[in-house]
Amino acid sequence: MRIRIAHSPDSDDAFMFYPLVKGLIDTEGLEIEHVLADIETLNREALKGTYEVSAISFHAYPYVADKYAVLPSGGSIGEGYGPIVVAREELGTLKGKKIAVPGELTTAFLTLKLYEPDFEHVVIPFDRIIQAVLEGKVDAGLVIHEGQLSYKDYGLKKIVDLGEWWKEKYGLPLPLGCNVVRKDLGREVVKKIERLMRESVEYALKERKRALEYAINYARDLSEDLERTQKFVSMYVNERTVDYGEDGREAVRLLLRLGKERGIIKAEIPEKIFSDELF
Protein backbone atom coordinates (compact mmCIF):
# COMPACT_ATOMS: atom_id res chain seq x y z
CA MET A 1 0.00 0.00 0.00
CA ARG A 2 1.42 3.39 -1.00
CA ILE A 3 1.38 6.11 1.66
CA ARG A 4 2.29 9.64 0.64
CA ILE A 5 3.81 11.66 3.49
CA ALA A 6 3.80 15.37 2.73
CA HIS A 7 6.00 17.67 4.79
CA SER A 8 7.97 20.91 4.66
CA PRO A 9 11.41 21.06 3.04
CA ASP A 10 13.00 22.49 6.18
CA SER A 11 15.62 21.15 8.54
CA ASP A 12 13.41 20.00 11.41
CA ASP A 13 11.08 17.97 9.17
CA ALA A 14 14.07 16.64 7.23
CA PHE A 15 15.64 15.55 10.54
CA MET A 16 12.59 13.68 11.85
CA PHE A 17 11.82 11.99 8.53
CA TYR A 18 15.45 11.06 7.78
CA PRO A 19 15.06 7.42 8.91
CA LEU A 20 11.98 6.96 6.73
CA VAL A 21 13.49 8.70 3.70
CA LYS A 22 16.62 6.55 3.93
CA GLY A 23 14.78 3.29 4.60
CA LEU A 24 16.39 2.83 8.01
CA ILE A 25 13.25 1.54 9.72
CA ASP A 26 10.81 -1.23 8.85
CA THR A 27 7.78 0.27 7.09
CA GLU A 28 5.66 -2.80 7.90
CA GLY A 29 4.79 -3.42 4.26
CA LEU A 30 3.85 0.18 3.46
CA GLU A 31 5.42 1.87 0.44
CA ILE A 32 6.35 5.38 1.59
CA GLU A 33 6.53 8.30 -0.84
CA HIS A 34 7.67 11.73 0.41
CA VAL A 35 6.18 14.94 -0.98
CA LEU A 36 7.78 18.30 -0.15
CA ALA A 37 5.85 21.58 -0.01
CA ASP A 38 5.71 24.71 2.14
CA ILE A 39 3.38 24.59 5.14
CA GLU A 40 0.65 26.85 3.75
CA THR A 41 0.47 24.72 0.60
CA LEU A 42 0.17 21.62 2.79
CA ASN A 43 -2.61 23.28 4.80
CA ARG A 44 -4.53 23.96 1.58
CA GLU A 45 -3.99 20.44 0.23
CA ALA A 46 -5.22 18.98 3.53
CA LEU A 47 -8.51 20.81 3.01
CA LYS A 48 -8.95 18.56 -0.02
CA GLY A 49 -7.69 15.41 1.74
CA THR A 50 -4.94 15.06 -0.85
CA TYR A 51 -2.28 13.13 1.09
CA GLU A 52 -2.58 10.11 3.36
CA VAL A 53 -0.22 11.72 5.90
CA SER A 54 0.66 15.39 6.01
CA ALA A 55 2.36 18.00 8.13
CA ILE A 56 -0.05 20.88 8.76
CA SER A 57 -0.43 23.86 11.07
CA PHE A 58 -2.57 23.31 14.16
CA HIS A 59 -4.59 26.35 13.07
CA ALA A 60 -5.64 24.40 9.98
CA TYR A 61 -6.66 21.27 11.87
CA PRO A 62 -10.31 22.15 12.70
CA TYR A 63 -10.94 22.70 8.98
CA VAL A 64 -9.70 19.19 8.10
CA ALA A 65 -10.85 17.31 11.22
CA ASP A 66 -13.56 15.54 9.21
CA LYS A 67 -10.83 13.85 7.16
CA TYR A 68 -7.77 13.67 9.44
CA ALA A 69 -6.66 12.89 12.99
CA VAL A 70 -3.48 14.19 14.63
CA LEU A 71 -0.72 11.60 15.06
CA PRO A 72 0.58 11.28 18.64
CA SER A 73 4.16 11.81 17.36
CA GLY A 74 5.71 14.31 14.98
CA GLY A 75 4.50 17.56 16.52
CA SER A 76 6.46 20.81 16.53
CA ILE A 77 6.07 22.53 19.88
CA GLY A 78 7.73 25.67 21.21
CA GLU A 79 8.85 25.45 24.84
CA GLY A 80 8.74 29.17 25.61
CA TYR A 81 9.70 30.16 22.06
CA GLY A 82 7.94 30.28 18.71
CA PRO A 83 7.17 32.54 15.74
CA ILE A 84 8.68 36.03 16.10
CA VAL A 85 7.42 39.41 14.96
CA VAL A 86 10.37 41.43 13.66
CA ALA A 87 10.77 44.99 12.40
CA ARG A 88 13.45 47.42 11.25
CA GLU A 89 12.95 49.53 14.37
CA GLU A 90 11.25 49.26 17.75
CA LEU A 91 7.46 49.42 17.63
CA GLY A 92 5.46 50.51 20.65
CA THR A 93 2.45 48.53 19.47
CA LEU A 94 1.36 46.24 16.67
CA LYS A 95 -2.16 47.66 16.66
CA GLY A 96 -3.04 48.93 13.19
CA LYS A 97 0.34 47.92 11.75
CA LYS A 98 0.82 46.27 8.37
CA ILE A 99 2.35 42.86 9.09
CA ALA A 100 3.59 40.23 6.65
CA VAL A 101 2.38 36.75 7.64
CA PRO A 102 3.26 33.35 6.13
CA GLY A 103 -0.36 32.26 5.63
CA GLU A 104 -3.81 32.66 7.13
CA LEU A 105 -3.97 29.02 8.21
CA THR A 106 -0.60 28.98 9.95
CA THR A 107 -0.51 28.68 13.74
CA ALA A 108 1.81 31.69 13.71
CA PHE A 109 -1.04 33.80 12.30
CA LEU A 110 -3.56 32.38 14.79
CA THR A 111 -1.26 33.12 17.73
CA LEU A 112 -0.55 36.64 16.49
CA LYS A 113 -4.30 37.28 16.25
CA LEU A 114 -4.67 36.07 19.84
CA TYR A 115 -1.87 38.42 20.89
CA GLU A 116 -3.10 41.45 18.92
CA PRO A 117 -6.40 41.17 17.02
CA ASP A 118 -6.19 44.59 15.35
CA PHE A 119 -3.61 44.68 12.56
CA GLU A 120 -3.52 44.60 8.76
CA HIS A 121 -2.02 41.40 7.46
CA VAL A 122 -0.40 40.72 4.10
CA VAL A 123 0.24 37.10 3.11
CA ILE A 124 3.79 36.64 1.81
CA PRO A 125 5.67 33.33 1.36
CA PHE A 126 7.56 32.66 4.59
CA ASP A 127 10.99 32.80 2.93
CA ARG A 128 10.35 36.32 1.56
CA ILE A 129 9.05 37.96 4.72
CA ILE A 130 12.41 39.21 6.00
CA GLN A 131 13.12 40.84 2.64
CA ALA A 132 9.69 42.50 2.65
CA VAL A 133 10.46 43.99 6.08
CA LEU A 134 13.90 45.18 4.94
CA GLU A 135 12.41 46.85 1.87
CA GLY A 136 9.81 48.67 3.96
CA LYS A 137 6.87 47.02 2.21
CA VAL A 138 5.40 46.22 5.64
CA ASP A 139 5.81 47.58 9.15
CA ALA A 140 6.73 44.18 10.56
CA GLY A 141 7.00 40.53 9.62
CA LEU A 142 5.98 37.30 11.30
CA VAL A 143 8.90 34.91 10.85
CA ILE A 144 8.78 31.13 11.19
CA HIS A 145 11.17 28.23 10.53
CA GLU A 146 14.87 29.16 10.42
CA GLY A 147 13.98 32.84 10.20
CA GLN A 148 13.46 32.70 13.96
CA LEU A 149 17.24 32.51 14.26
CA SER A 150 18.48 34.27 11.13
CA TYR A 151 16.52 37.56 11.42
CA LYS A 152 19.33 38.99 13.58
CA ASP A 153 21.75 38.61 10.68
CA TYR A 154 19.77 41.32 8.84
CA GLY A 155 19.80 43.79 11.71
CA LEU A 156 16.11 43.36 12.43
CA LYS A 157 14.67 43.80 15.91
CA LYS A 158 12.47 41.34 17.79
CA ILE A 159 9.14 42.91 18.70
CA VAL A 160 7.59 39.84 20.33
CA ASP A 161 8.30 36.12 20.53
CA LEU A 162 4.81 34.61 20.48
CA GLY A 163 5.93 31.37 22.10
CA GLU A 164 7.44 33.33 24.97
CA TRP A 165 4.25 35.40 25.32
CA TRP A 166 2.09 32.24 25.26
CA LYS A 167 4.21 30.53 27.94
CA GLU A 168 4.06 33.58 30.23
CA LYS A 169 0.30 33.96 29.77
CA TYR A 170 -0.85 30.34 29.92
CA GLY A 171 2.07 28.41 31.42
CA LEU A 172 2.04 25.94 28.54
CA PRO A 173 4.18 25.14 25.49
CA LEU A 174 2.95 26.50 22.15
CA PRO A 175 1.84 23.77 19.69
CA LEU A 176 2.64 24.93 16.18
CA GLY A 177 2.60 22.07 13.71
CA CYS A 178 1.50 18.47 13.63
CA ASN A 179 1.41 15.45 11.39
CA VAL A 180 -2.05 14.20 10.52
CA VAL A 181 -3.28 10.88 9.14
CA ARG A 182 -6.35 10.33 7.01
CA LYS A 183 -9.08 8.55 8.96
CA ASP A 184 -10.34 6.59 5.95
CA LEU A 185 -7.17 4.47 5.97
CA GLY A 186 -8.72 2.46 8.78
CA ARG A 187 -7.50 1.36 12.17
CA GLU A 188 -4.81 -1.14 11.08
CA VAL A 189 -3.02 1.25 8.71
CA VAL A 190 -3.36 4.23 11.06
CA LYS A 191 -1.77 2.19 13.87
CA LYS A 192 1.12 1.25 11.55
CA ILE A 193 1.64 4.90 10.67
CA GLU A 194 1.56 5.88 14.35
CA ARG A 195 4.36 3.37 15.00
CA LEU A 196 6.38 4.50 11.97
CA MET A 197 6.15 8.17 12.93
CA ARG A 198 7.29 7.51 16.49
CA GLU A 199 10.09 5.16 15.39
CA SER A 200 11.34 7.67 12.82
CA VAL A 201 11.58 10.46 15.41
CA GLU A 202 13.18 8.18 18.02
CA TYR A 203 15.73 6.87 15.49
CA ALA A 204 16.66 10.40 14.36
CA LEU A 205 17.16 11.53 17.96
CA LYS A 206 19.29 8.45 18.67
CA GLU A 207 21.38 8.93 15.50
CA ARG A 208 21.45 12.72 15.85
CA LYS A 209 24.76 13.32 14.05
CA ARG A 210 23.74 11.43 10.90
CA ALA A 211 20.28 12.94 10.89
CA LEU A 212 21.73 16.45 11.25
CA GLU A 213 24.15 15.89 8.38
CA TYR A 214 21.11 15.08 6.26
CA ALA A 215 18.95 17.90 7.66
CA ILE A 216 21.52 20.66 7.04
CA ASN A 217 20.80 20.30 3.31
CA TYR A 218 17.38 21.79 4.09
CA ALA A 219 18.53 24.54 6.46
CA ARG A 220 18.02 27.36 3.93
CA ASP A 221 19.26 30.69 5.35
CA LEU A 222 21.31 29.15 8.15
CA SER A 223 24.06 28.99 5.51
CA GLU A 224 25.12 25.42 6.25
CA ASP A 225 25.89 26.47 9.82
CA LEU A 226 25.85 23.11 11.61
CA GLU A 227 25.71 24.64 15.09
CA ARG A 228 22.69 26.83 14.33
CA THR A 229 20.99 24.05 12.36
CA GLN A 230 21.41 21.81 15.39
CA LYS A 231 19.97 24.53 17.63
CA PHE A 232 16.94 25.01 15.38
CA VAL A 233 16.31 21.28 14.98
CA SER A 234 16.59 20.77 18.75
CA MET A 235 13.96 23.48 19.25
CA TYR A 236 11.37 21.53 17.28
CA VAL A 237 12.46 17.89 17.31
CA ASN A 238 12.79 16.58 20.85
CA GLU A 239 10.92 14.45 23.39
CA ARG A 240 7.78 16.50 22.69
CA THR A 241 8.01 15.28 19.09
CA VAL A 242 8.07 11.68 20.28
CA ASP A 243 4.97 12.33 22.40
CA TYR A 244 3.04 15.52 23.18
CA GLY A 245 2.57 14.72 26.86
CA GLU A 246 -0.56 15.62 28.79
CA ASP A 247 0.29 19.31 29.01
CA GLY A 248 1.13 19.34 25.30
CA ARG A 249 -2.31 17.95 24.48
CA GLU A 250 -3.87 20.44 26.90
CA ALA A 251 -2.06 23.23 25.05
CA VAL A 252 -3.46 22.01 21.71
CA ARG A 253 -7.02 22.08 23.04
CA LEU A 254 -6.54 25.50 24.65
CA LEU A 255 -5.09 27.04 21.48
CA LEU A 256 -7.97 25.78 19.35
CA ARG A 257 -10.60 26.72 21.92
CA LEU A 258 -9.27 30.27 22.20
CA GLY A 259 -9.17 30.57 18.42
CA LYS A 260 -12.80 29.49 18.24
CA GLU A 261 -13.93 31.74 21.12
CA ARG A 262 -12.24 34.79 19.59
CA GLY A 263 -13.84 34.16 16.21
CA ILE A 264 -10.54 33.44 14.44
CA ILE A 265 -11.34 29.78 13.82
CA LYS A 266 -14.65 29.39 12.00
CA ALA A 267 -14.84 25.59 12.07
CA GLU A 268 -16.01 23.41 14.95
CA ILE A 269 -13.38 21.93 17.27
CA PRO A 270 -13.76 18.13 17.54
CA GLU A 271 -13.83 16.51 20.95
CA LYS A 272 -11.34 13.84 19.86
CA ILE A 273 -8.29 15.23 18.05
CA PHE A 274 -5.56 12.56 18.25
CA SER A 275 -5.63 9.31 16.29
CA ASP A 276 -5.00 7.22 19.42
CA GLU A 277 -8.23 8.66 20.84
CA LEU A 278 -10.18 7.53 17.77
CA PHE A 279 -8.70 4.09 17.06
Topology (CATH) of 84-170: D-Maltodextrin-Binding Protein; domain 2 (3.40.190)
Select which of 7, 34, 121, 145 is catalytic: 145
pTM: 0.94
> Three-class SS string for 213-260?
HHHHHHCHHHCCCHHHHHHHHHHHCCHHHHCCHHHHHHHHHHHHHHHH
**For the segment 204-220, what is each residue's pLDDT rounded down to a tens digit?**
999 999 999 898 888 66
Q: Is 121 a catalytic residue?
A: no
* pLDDT tens-digit map of 238-266: 999 999 999 999 999 999 999 999 999 99
**pLDDT tens digit sequence for 21-58:** 999 999 999 999 999 998 889 999 999 999 999 999 99
Q: Which fold would CATH assign to domain 2-77+175-278? A: D-Maltodextrin-Binding Protein; domain 2 (3.40.190)
Within this chain, domains 2-77+175-278 and 84-170 share the same CATH topology: yes
- Compute the distance between CA of residue 47 and CA of residue 7 in angstroms, rounded to an integer: 15
Give me the residue spans of the domains in the chain.
Answer: 2-77+175-278, 84-170
Q: Does 132 show up as a binding residue in the annotation?
A: no
Q: 188, 239, 202, 244: which is closest to 70 by C-alpha?
A: 244
Question: By the 8 A CB rule, do 250 and 49 touch?
Answer: no
Q: Are 182 and 66 in contact (CB under 8 A)?
A: no
According to the annotation, is 108 in a ligand binding site?
Answer: yes
Work out the number of other CB atoms within 10 angstroms of the CB of residue 26: 10
